[in-house]
Structure 1
């Protein structure tokens, strides 16, 4: 898109329209995840999922496979398939998230959700409105994410409480930073694609996926801090 031919108001309108589309898809995915998690937690299915490790980890692997497929093949698929994979991923996430209701009280899960929503909203707004280039923050957060993954794998065998809380605190900071960075990246993307085209629709889905992942991971780490165990 040639932005030199656009007025400041036109650019602003395009950016708002695109970010609204991204947030719309993200909100729908979060709603699906929450709805399925609640329904599963209040049904006999929760015992089947929690009581069968093969099934539980099979669902997790399915989620990872969907994210990898969507991220790596988005350019070669149509928008309808991208939307379907994204919403299917959010539904599978609801199944695995239902297990949280066996560990934490419903009240603390709800309060943590609102804390996450507030934190996410503030950082996303910062990423959208700031004039500062957040690329360096995004790079640091990505390196931190790799460190968290490696440390989490080590702690599966080590069971060190200090490392557990270190991972938790760093995890919150990483996804706070990624939320701002991803929002700014999505804002820039809005001027690189025709938002009404097939590519624009796929771009909105990828933006929604990035923010969705930021939100749910921030939620998980904050739940470790604020969640009240049963």
Structure 2
């Protein structure tokens, strides 16, 4: 009888573990799928806005950049007027102040909509890369970033090593990086920008692995509760974390690999 109960308990535990594994795969697919859609929205928005902001007709140009690119009235407003600071800082303000409130108060559909709206805003703020860098170097850098991201995320998912301590250290590094970037806005030091880009790549590479493990562990810890609404919102939160890591790796790599127009 005792042996039967042991077999039965083992069977139930095994079935439960298999159910959690299946749910985890579906959860991770949702995270990566949402992140991919966000990246697509960002790319399309950046490309479309860059097209509307530039012109080849001098009659329609309101300003000209140092590389010879002629800007429309929209381009002048986005890239040359004080509005550019709003465009640059608005996504950062959303991350620090808006996203947490959205996670607490909105349902899963609202959180998803907020993520896609954020991806569109990032597209607006990044549209200048299509003016500064060649299309080939943008695509090349994106592919390199995608390969590196895939490897780092796979490591974070499969490693048995606890990365939580590393995550805390890296988040402190992000704060230091932001401070250095603000300082360099005024200094305009190429050497400092080079150092910021190199350190930024390392920090967000580490955060990719850390966030992947965190997403996995969060699902496993809460799957037993069966709160689908919360797990759906957690998937969008995880997608945002990985999206930000990917995007920053791409931008910092572009500083090294990008060929300017």
TM-score surpassing 0.5? yes
Aligned equivalent of 1:114, options 137, 140, 143: 143
Cα shift at 1:15: 1.5
In structure 2, the partner of 1:70 is 99
Structure 1, residues 167-202: CA drift from partner, whole Å, max 9, x if none?
111100000000000000000111233577111111
Cα shift at 1:5: 7.5
In structure 1, the partner of 2:20 is 11
Where do 1:157-172 residues align within 5 Å?
157-172=186-201
Structure 1, residues 98-137: CA drift from partner, whole Å, max 9, x if none?
1111111111011000111111110000000111111122
The number of residues matched between the two structures is 228
In structure 1, the partner of 2:216 is 187
Does structure 2 conserve the Cα–Cα contact (< 8 Å) formed by 1:126 and 1:180? yes
Query: TM-score with structure 1 length normalisation?
Result: 0.91
- The SS at the match of 1:229 is coil
Superposed CA RMSD in Å reads 2.0
Task: Show structure 2 runs of 5+ residues with no match.
Answer: 1-11, 54-71
Where do 1:20-31 residues align within 5 Å?
20-31=29-40
Task: Show structure 1 runs of 5+ residues with no match.
Answer: none
Higher relative contact order (CA 8 A, sep 6+): 1
1:206 partnered with 2:237: yes
Does structure 2 conserve the Cα–Cα contact (< 8 Å) formed by 1:50 and 1:99? no
Cα shift at 1:75: 1.8
Does structure 2 conserve the Cα–Cα contact (< 8 Å) formed by 1:112 and 1:223? yes
Where do 1:31-180 residues align within 5 Å?
31-44=40-53, 47-67=75-95, 68-180=97-209
